[in-house]
Amino acid sequence: MEYYLNTPLQKEDIVRLDIGDVVYLTGTILTARDEAHARILELTEKGEEVPFDLEGAVIYHCGPLMQNKEEKWEVVAAGPTTSARMSKMTPQLLEKHKVLALIGKGGMANVTEALKNRCVYLAFTGGCAALAAENIKDVQTVHWPDLGMPEAVWELKVENFGPLIVGIDTKCNDLFSKIEEKAREVLSDLES
């Protein structure tokens, strides 16, 4: 199935998604890598407010390349980064905040239970930084620039951002695990 969704997402938007479905997003997404995840969790632990809204949010595992033109940020490239680096922080993030979708590449280990009934993982093909930049219509603002360009949180206005493939759905189905399982079966058959 193919879905065109608007952010902020609603729970009913994500519970109907199954692994392999194609998703396009319109609205606002937030970039966040390791350092941003750590800061979100640190502020939450201290009871301090995060300067952006995570209710129904989409977090894009991305370290974009930006250019400042005439006092306005423009996206040069914004391809996905490896999501596995954020796997350890994801369960705690989802316990504390109502993030409904994560975007990245390569899948995530040991997060299916944390995503159950609360969040989906959307895979974006690596090497598509220019395609991603085309679907980003505006850089709304940047949070935590002290972390550096790739680690800062960028609020991006997107239109039909994708195609994104549902890699892990809210029902604990993991497309990456299924592909690995199938590959093992094929290798086993070839060896026998």
CA 148 centroid distance within chain: 19
- Both structure tokens of 2: 């193919």
Q: What are the two backbone dihedrals, phi and then psi, of residue 37, each rounded to the nearest 5 degrees?
A: -60, -45
CA 116 centroid distance within chain: 16
Verify whether residue 97 is a known catalytic residue: no
CB 97 within 8 A of CB 57: yes
Q: What is the 3-state secondary structure (H, E, C) of 13-69?
A: HHHCCCCCCEEEEEEEEEECCHHHHHHHHHHHHHCCCCCCCCCCCEEECECCEEEEE
Active-site positions?
37
